[in-house]
Amino acid sequence: MPAQASHRFARIAPRKCRLVADMIRGKRYHEAQAILHFTFNKSARLIERVLQSAFHNARENFDMDADSLYVSRIWVDEAGMAGIQGKLKRFQPAPQGRAHPILKRASHIHVELDERN
């Protein structure tokens, strides 16, 4: 049974977060942690914290071996699919008294770690 952790309503667009999630999918835990540590963007910090949480869940709740853990699944969903919840609506002033809408999106980040035989 895989150990999992998630971060709901992370204030970053899912499109930006998926770029980093794709880099560590299928990697061993220690290798994924090193990749995230040296990737300089906000989504790497958020995913690194979720990865550490899943690691601690695996160690304490499932007694898994730290050296055999790998990222079995990682996915990023957009928050607020069933309505507007999770999306902040803002408006940018535009010429001639108009306003352009801005959607500030949020994400749900999910990580599963499993043991490799």
Task: Quote the pLDDT of residue 82.
Answer: 56
Task: Quote the pLDDT of residue 80.
Answer: 76
pLDDT range class, residue 1, cuts 50, 70, 90:
confident
pLDDT in tens, 10-46: 999 999 999 999 999 999 999 999 999 999 999 999 9
pLDDT range class, residue 117, cuts 50, 70, 90:
confident
- pLDDT above 70 (res 5): yes
Is residue 35 within 8 Å of residue 27, measured between CB atoms? yes
The pTM (predicted TM-score) of the whole model is 0.88
The percent of residues in the chain predicted with pLDDT above 70, rounded, is: 96
Q: Please state, rounded to an integer, the average pLDDT across all residues of the chain.
A: 93
pLDDT in tens, 40-89: 999 999 999 999 999 999 999 999 999 999 999 999 999 875 555 678 88
| Superfamily holding 3-79+106-115 | Ribosomal protein L22/L17 (3.90.470.10)
Of 6, 59, 3, 51, the C-alpha closest to 27 is: 51
Q: Distances from the Cα of 86 to the Cαs of 11, 53, 81, 82, 89, in angstroms? A: 9, 23, 8, 10, 10
Q: How far apart are CA 47 and CA 19, in angstroms?
A: 11
